[in-house]
Structure 1
Amino acid sequence: MPITFSQASSPECEFSEWKIINRNRAKLVEIVAYLYLRQEENAQRIIEALEPKMRASKGKVAENVVRKLTAPRTRDIEQLQSGTDEQKKAAKNRIETSIIHRDGLLFQHISWIAARLALPNCYMNSPHVRQADKGFDGFIIELSGSMQEVKRIVLCEDKASIAPRNLITSSVWTEIAEIRNGMRDDEILADLVTLLKTIPNIDVEQAVDAVFWENSREFRVAVATSVNQKKNGSYLHIIAGFEATAGGELETRTAGVMGFEDVRKGLGLLADEVAAKVKEIAGV
């Protein structure tokens, strides 16, 4: 496996620290590249240690993917170096935003892989295409043994940040509270129906009608950050308040943190490797 999970005991949730295994890094890069190219079946084949099927990249998909993996833009660097004071300030803001968006989208893809490894028999939506996309970062469902009823719905929040605790408390806990208050039930229903329609031989309307909404709903929070965010050798403080915010039984709350020596540099290096692999696969 390209990612390992080290479990840690916590009353907040089922918590694990994620780590990229260096000897399998190339495998992770290849899986992410296929996901960016919207070839999820090939990504799954790599996970299962099977050979991918060669497919032509459509239109300018590969070029668009490489652009999303590239930050900052050359023109912004040039303006930061030689522009007017106003242009330099605007370029600096664009550079920071482009890196944040690149890292956020890249980590969503990594988190998808982690979820697929941890929950191989569940059904998941594909990672986002657009940077800074709204809605849930991930949506997972598990069906009952009969494959006709929804056993659980897992709503995922993925964040890559140099200051994750502030982001969790100001954004993630707020979103989870809104979900618990029913303010996003229509979004959950839309994603549930969309995902169920991809599953053969299931009565979508019956499955939706049979869902016991509150009892089926679970939460998963994944964070990429720098190792300097550890306190007393642990990242657990980052997700403090998960139980109070999400409620439910312990097993309905899952969290994971992937630490990099420097999260921006680490994800930037990984983005470069994925971009190179995308070009290799697509022949551009």
Structure 2
Amino acid sequence: MPITFTPISSSPTWSGSSWQISNDDELARLVARVALGQSHFAKRILVETGFRSPTPSSSTLEGAVRLLSASNPKEPYHRDGWLFQVISWIAAHLQQPGGLIMEPHMIHAHKGFDGIHVHVDGTTGQVERVVICEEKATKNPRKMVSRIWEEFKDMENGDSDHRLLSEVIMILRLSPAIDLDKAIENLVWKNRRAYRVAITVPNGANYSQLFDGYDAVVAGDVAQRGSEVLPLTDMRDWMAALSTKAINHAEKLVEANV
């Protein structure tokens, strides 16, 4: 398992987990698969013991390297943001094996939801909860969280419901066992909506201060306010090293098909 989790909370305001990268090399392999357009197989590697995915085509390598690179090494923000969203996607699948989770974006600085998770009641087939994710790699987490609160306010007001519904329908279509019409029947967004913040933080960060004000933005029980953190000593250097490892793995994976 490339990531392990330690519960964190500030009851009754929010709850979530702190991530620890337990195997950089394994994580880089999974990131490489996603960059090569093989997120479907990366997901199966995470949940199926012994699964061996097909070898990627050489035609996918150039695009993967672009995703894993910073066009300007002095401004790696978009590259790091994409990398962190993929890491968050991997973490979500480890936390919720077999979950209905939006696939990672395949461009930098995508203008949309960072992530969406859909929880469906196995008995009724109806949507229990839609989790809207904000996933940010940053060196200024509190400043970023304050911006996220403003976005959550807009979402709570219903400003993004049309886009959210469209994304949820696409996610539900990935599971043929679900009756799509039944799943979204009588779905009341405000009552079924939850949020998940995933963010990089410096080691020793005060999480209570970091997520202060969450309950003022998102009403309801604590399960509607998720908080995930990845503590890193030097976030930019670590992201650069991970991207280099992922590029090396991508090149090796493609070489096996040459």
Task: Give the TM-score taking structure 2 as reference length.
Answer: 0.92
C-alpha spacing 1:181/1:243, structure 2 compared with 1 (3 Å): same
Work out which of the residue numbers 152, 169, 184 in structure 2 matches 1:176. Answer: 152
| Deviation >3 Å, runs of 4+ | none
Matched, 1:279 2:255: no
Of stretches 12-21 and 149-158 in structure 1, the one that deviates more from structure 2 is: 12-21
* 1:6-63 Cα deviation digits (max 9, x unpaired): 1123132113211101xx322211111111222123212321332322233263x221
State the alpha-carbon separation in 2 of the partners of residues 126 and 58 from structure 1: 22
Helix, strand or coil for the counterpart of 1:157?
A: strand
State the alpha-carbon separation in 1 of the partners of residues 69 and 98 from structure 2: 33
What aligned pairs does 1:31-110 form with structure 2 within 5 A after superposition?
Answer: 31-48=30-47, 49-57=49-57, 59=59, 61-73=60-72, 95-96=74-75, 99-110=76-87
Identity score, percent: 34
Helix, strand or coil for the counterpart of 1:218?
A: strand
Structure 2, gaps ≥5 residues long: none
What aligned pairs does 1:125-274 form with structure 2 within 5 A after superposition?
Answer: 125-146=102-123, 148-169=125-146, 171-227=147-203, 230-231=204-205, 234-274=206-246
Deviation at 1:66, TM superposition (A): 0.7
State the alpha-carbon separation in 2 of the partners of residues 164 and 176 from structure 1: 16
Q: Is the 1:27–1:46 contact (alpha carbons within 8 Å) kept by the matching residues of 2?
A: no
Deviation at 1:264, TM superposition (A): 0.5
Partner of 1:81: none
* 1:61-82 Cα deviation digits (max 9, x unpaired): 2211112212244xxx7xxxxx
State the alpha-carbon separation in 2 of the partners of residues 135 and 163 from structure 1: 22
C-alpha spacing 1:44/1:173, structure 2 compared with 1 (3 Å): same
Question: Which of structures 1 and 2 has the bigger CA Rg?
Answer: 1
Matched, 1:3 2:11: no
Deviation at 1:201, TM superposition (A): 3.5
* 1:222-268 Cα deviation digits (max 9, x unpaired): 001332xx34xx33322211111111100111111101110000111
Helix, strand or coil for the counterpart of 2:10?
A: coil
Structure 1, gaps ≥5 residues long: 78-94
State the alpha-carbon separation in 1 of the partners of residues 202 and 65 from structure 2: 25
Partner of 1:120: 97
Deviation at 1:133, TM superposition (A): 0.4
State the alpha-carbon separation in 2 of the partners of residues 236 and 273 from structure 1: 34
State the alpha-carbon separation in 2 of the partners of residues 5 and 269 from structure 1: 22
* 1:131-189 Cα deviation digits (max 9, x unpaired): 110111111111112362111111110000011111110x2111100010010000110
C-alpha spacing 1:194/1:282, structure 2 compared with 1 (3 Å): same
Question: What residue identity is the alignment partner of 2:17?
Answer: S
Partner of 1:19: 20
Of stretches 202-211 and 102-111 in structure 1, the one that deviates more from structure 2 is: 202-211
Task: Give the TM-score taking structure 1 as reference length.
Answer: 0.84
Tell me which protein shows more helix as a share of its residues.
1
